[in-house]
Amino acid sequence: MASEKEAALAATPSDSPTIFDKIINKEIPSTVVYEDDKVLAFRDISPQAPTHILIIPKSRDGLTGLSKAEERHTEILGRLLYTAKLVAKQEGLDDGYRIVINDGPSGCQSVYHIHVHLLGGRQMNWPPG
């Protein structure tokens, strides 16, 4: 998850390909923890918790962010959350975890390919920053 400053600098909402396309296509290495035909889950390069994993659709299909969701996206949106649950179990986060979807500049989104953050392994605080 980018800092607010990083997100503010990086985040011009855009339909352009993102770094996640290169991760999906294995042009850039990542630590993949789960993969199937529809989704990919890999460790965040800048972890904000002992466990910090990103779950993304392999096909963005217009979903630069959650605010762009349409009816046709409901299946993949559910799949992202279900995958987060599977990966949380795989990672041994039996005591709980946090799911985050940042959207747009005010939501501190920095990569415009929808993704679910799975954070765990420490006590989370509320309210979030």
Residues that bind ligand TR5 (CB under 6 A): 1-2, 7, 19, 28, 30, 44-46, 54, 102, 108-111
- Residue 84 structure tokens: 């987060």
CB of 2 to ligand TR5, least distance (A): 4
CB of 61 to ligand TR5, least distance (A): 18
Please say which residue, 9 or 28, places its beta carbon nearer to ligand TR5: 28
Q: What is d(CA 52, CA 72) in angstroms, rounded to the nearest whole number?
A: 28
Please say which residue, 28 or 90, places its beta carbon nearer to ligand TR5: 28
Q: What is d(CA 81, CA 24) in angstroms, rounded to the nearest whole number?
A: 18
DSSP single-letter state for residue 67: G
Is 117 one of the catalytic residues?
no
Secondary structure (3-state) at 25? coil
- Residue 10 structure tokens: 């990086």
Q: What is d(CA 80, CA 91) in angstroms, rounded to the nearest whole number?
A: 16
CB of 42 to ligand TR5, least distance (A): 6
- Residue 63 structure tokens: 């979903």
Catalytic position from the list 52, 113, 115, 117: 115
Please say which residue, 88 or 109, places its beta carbon nearer to ligand TR5: 109
Q: What is d(CA 45, CA 98) in angstroms, rounded to the nearest whole number?
A: 18
CB of 105 to ligand TR5, least distance (A): 11
Please say which residue, 30 or 83, places its beta carbon nearer to ligand TR5: 30
**Catalytic site residues?**
115
